[in-house]
Chains A and B, each alone.
Chain A
């Protein structure tokens, strides 16, 4: 890889009591990458993700985003760097309309006029126009995921972190999400956490595999798919 390093973790660890969810991880992300983070359930992907985004304060080690030491900082401080974040469990404003959800993301960084334009553009781009006045709380799970993606997009981030963006989506929605992710990647560096290999195949080139809190292997999708250890990890978990 060439270019600039935009995100780096150094010996990053997160313990929960006796459980070591993330174990001294050294991870490097380069500018303009679309990196997939995979691994079986419980591998520590979400915990790693939460350390990157300020939702957890790492037990040890550091997270560096460009020049900013993000380890142990508040989520809004990470977001303020221009980082768009989607969590595994959808976090949306249930009592507000789809439009207002997206508007709140756009308005954080833009004046009133530009935020309005950006909101309309985002709603159109994500095909949310027809349900713009609906309360997010009454929407189907997949649609709520899309609203959250809309909030990420409307903030025009340069770094986008998505944790399991396709959970609970229909097959058709999954395909659209894959397209959207590739589109976002035109202007933003990305990390996408997934455990669904099918989906990863659609979008990935460089893949990092997590297992028991550590990086098992980091390579191209093809190489990872061929790797015996990765097969064991996935098959082993499937048999459980």
Chain B
């Protein structure tokens, strides 16, 4: 199978990530580094949707629900347990398990693509309004007060096995960046396995995959749960980056944003949506500091421009242009060679050149 170019680029991207991991704290100001944890959490969320939608063809319009569930599960577990290592795994498990349960009904019920989008969006918005209505003192899970629209303060990560040894915000950057690199490599590996190739096959043609004997319901369910787990992990980092979880994680704006990241970055690539999330974060926070242009308007325009003009997204678009340029220059080169071969040598010209 000819996927070596893809693999090479993925490893290159991961290497750039590692360099960034060590270089960024030397280069950037503290404020930027602390802020980066949140950005990287969003990037991992984008990665999870790139996997589920871009590779698996499952248009989940509620990837933020698993993200939010991860963030809430982490926070509530950490408050109750009094340390944060187990809560990380609890958060990932809760998000993946919820994705598996929801996915069971969707995929085994043979829900069509459009309804899948509607259902996932609806469930996300249900979480939003449910959590908003938990402001009374009676809404408690263990020691954790849910706090309605104010949310809950998230305990920061501690060193495993040492609850009193809490990470500084600037140290969180290392954790978040390492998590992004590892999650990315995991996704790259997954897409190269037999499982991953079957997922791509299902995206290309469900019926053919079934006729080959693949149970597509099971494959989709598995991918959906894996994507949910990754989003849940991103939620843990987000809770750490912001220091608090609120129902707003589940709101319509955020879930639409995840879709825009993937459309802008490009479906069918993993790194594209990651970069899309980071770029759009800095674009919107840059716009947020001035008052003249409305943020939502800009996002809307970006969405429309991409859907109409760059439907494959930036990265696949650039790769396409690069490939075309390559083959054109190859063509030109071979044409030149042909012409040279065809042209009869003119001795007087050669002599002139020599002289």
Q: Which residues of A contact B (CB under 8 A)?
A: 53-55, 74-76, 79-80, 85, 87, 91-97, 99-100, 103-105, 107-109, 112, 133, 151, 155
- A74 contacts B215, CB within 8 Å? yes
- A75 contacts B211, CB within 8 Å? yes
The list of the 4 closest CB pairs from A to B, nearest first, reads A79-B213, A93-B204, A75-B210, A91-B208
Query: Which residues of A sit under 8 angstroms from B197, Cβ to Cβ?
Result: 100, 103-104, 107
- A107 contacts B194, CB within 8 Å? yes
The contact sample of 10 A-B pairs, CB cut-off 8 A, is: A74-B210, A79-B210, A93-B200, A97-B1, A104-B197, A104-B209, A108-B212, A108-B213, A109-B213, A151-B212
Q: Which of A54, A85, A104, A155 contacts B198 (CB 8 A)?
A: A104
- A93 contacts B201, CB within 8 Å? yes
Determine how close the nearest CB of chain A comes to the CB of B221; give it in whole angstroms.
14
Chain A's closest residue to B210 (CB) is A75
Query: Which residues of A sit under 8 angstroms from B203, Cβ to Cβ?
Result: 95
- B215 contacts A91, CB within 8 Å? no
Query: Which residues of A sit under 8 angstroms from B205, Cβ to Cβ?
Result: 91-94
Considering only residues 1-20 of chain B, those with a C-beta below 8 Å from chain A are 1-2
- A96 contacts B210, CB within 8 Å? no
Considering only residues 173-208 of chain B, those with a C-beta below 8 Å from chain A are 194, 197-198, 200-201, 203-205, 207-208
Query: DSSP majority for the B interface?
Result: helix
- Report the bound CA distance from A163 to B213 in whole Å: 18
Chain B's closest residue to A148 (CB) is B208
B214 at the interface (CB under 8 A from A): yes
- Report the bound CA distance from A204 to B1 in whole Å: 38
Given A76-B216, A91-B205, is A85 in contact with B211 using a C-beta cutoff of 8 Å?
Answer: yes
Query: Which residues of A sit under 8 angstroms from B215, Cβ to Cβ?
Result: 74, 76
Q: Which of A76, A87, A96, A99 has the most CB of B within 10 A?
A: A76
Determine how close the nearest CB of chain B comes to the CB of A183; give it in whole angstroms.
21
Query: Which residues of B sit under 8 angstroms from A80, Cβ to Cβ?
Result: 213
- B212 contacts A105, CB within 8 Å? yes
Query: Which residues of B sit under 8 angstroms from A95, Cβ to Cβ?
Result: 200, 203-204
- Report the bound CA distance from A190 to B285 in whole Å: 64
- Report the bound CA distance from A79 to B211 in whole Å: 6
Query: Which residues of B sit under 8 angstroms from A92, Cβ to Cβ?
Result: 205, 208
Given A96-B200, A100-B1, A151-B212, is A75 in contact with B207 using a C-beta cutoff of 8 Å?
Answer: yes
Query: Which residues of A sit under 8 angstroms from B211, Cβ to Cβ?
Result: 53, 75-76, 79, 85, 87, 91
Query: Which residues of B sit under 8 angstroms from A155, Cβ to Cβ?
Result: 212-213
- B2 contacts A97, CB within 8 Å? yes
- Report the bound CA distance from A171 to B197 in whole Å: 35
Chain B's closest residue to A99 (CB) is B1
